[in-house]
């Protein structure tokens, strides 16, 4: 878990010598106590990626002035960067259809404090999960989106998301393809769980297709959503072994456990500012 009163900086820029020292010296010049630092060099892309977290107790640079102070370094090194405070709780909207297992798991982890966030609303295109939302005291909105009315009803969804100041959207087995407009509004802020080990069996009915193909492993994949269906940057994956004795229902049952674990990990890492997405892939910092 992150320090209770800390800040985290995520950086991506062209690789060059001295970047770690430059960033560390900048922070130390304001009396920062660095709690954790991790970096990665992508040799193929010539990129440097870093996550650094430091305690705000004793840090002499006011957070309101951080961007202005850091900008000369960022500009000189062509950095893309963002800074987040551990005390801030991002607001999450969960989208769900009829399958409830991922929703229940996320809400449980939220209630016990494992997910550092607020959940001001749940949006669905069906009524099935209303009782779960009400049990947890979260407003439940049914927006009956179909492929025929998507453009119109997504406007209702946008209004709800803006009304509640949502920072992150979780598709917890939401069985609708988001429009290009939707994805462009929330770049790297929509996390989906797909019930296969991508890139295998993307799209609809992956368990049925895996069974028909006779695979010996099935999996689940969490990824950021992009305009290309099931092709966004992969955050986490997990697999389990199956056999010829398993029918489609067995695959679905075994897959549910994978889906819950993989989605919750992705959400937690995003909330902890451990993910850096670039070139349609991700680095997950320790």
Tell me the catalytic residues. 230
Q: Count the neighbouring beta carbons within 10 Å of the beta carbon of residue 170.
A: 27
Residue 278 CB neighbours (<10 A): 15
Contact 12, 278 (CB under 8 A): yes
166: Cβ–Cβ under 8 A, 6 or more apart, which residues?
91, 92, 93, 120, 121
Identify the burial level of 212 via C-beta atoms within 10 angstroms of its C-beta, where 0-12 means exposed, 13-18 middle and 19 or more buried.
exposed
Question: Phi, psi (5° rounding) for residue 279?
Answer: 50, 40
**What are the structure tokens assigned to 275, written together?**
């993910």
The whole-angstrom separation of Cα 252 and Cα 61 is: 52
Please tell me the distance from the alpha carbon of residue 55 to that of residue 32, in angstroms, as a whole number: 7
């Amino acid at each position: 878990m992150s320090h209770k009163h800390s800040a985290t900086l995520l950086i991506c820029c062209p690789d060059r010598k001295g970047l770690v020292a430059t960033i560390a010296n900048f922070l130390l010049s304001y009396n920062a106590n660095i709690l954790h630092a991790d970096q990665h060099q992508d040799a193929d892309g010539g990129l440097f990626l870093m996550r650094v977290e430091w305690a705000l107790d004793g840090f002499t640079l006011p957070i309101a002035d951080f961007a202005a102070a850091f900008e000369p370094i960022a500009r000189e090194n062509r950095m893309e960067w963002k800074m987040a405070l551990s005390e801030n709780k991002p607001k999450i909207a969960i989208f769900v259809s009829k399958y409830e297992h991922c929703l229940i798991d996320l809400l449980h982890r939220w209630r016990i404090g494992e997910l550092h966030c607020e959940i001001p609303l749940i949006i669905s295109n069906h009524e099935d999960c209303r009782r779960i939302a009400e049990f947890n005291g979260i407003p439940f909105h049914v927006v009956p989106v179909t492929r025929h009315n998507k453009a119109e009803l997504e406007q209702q969804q946008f209004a709800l998301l803006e009304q509640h100041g949502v920072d992150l959207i979780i598709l917890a087995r939401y069985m609708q393809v988001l429009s290009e407009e939707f994805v462009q509004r929330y770049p790297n802020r929509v996390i989906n769980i797909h019930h296969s080990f991508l890139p295998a069996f993307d799209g609809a009915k992956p368990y049925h297709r895996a069974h028909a193909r006779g695979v010996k492993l099935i999996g689940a994949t969490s990824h950021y959503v992009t305009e290309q269906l099931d092709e966004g940057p992969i955050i986490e994956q997990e697999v389990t072994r199956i056999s010829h004795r398993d029918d489609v229902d067995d695959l679905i049952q075994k897959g549910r456990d994978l889906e819950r674990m993989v989605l919750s990990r992705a959400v937690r890492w995003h909330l902890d500012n451990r993910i850096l997405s670039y070139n349609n892939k991700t680095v997950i910092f320790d």
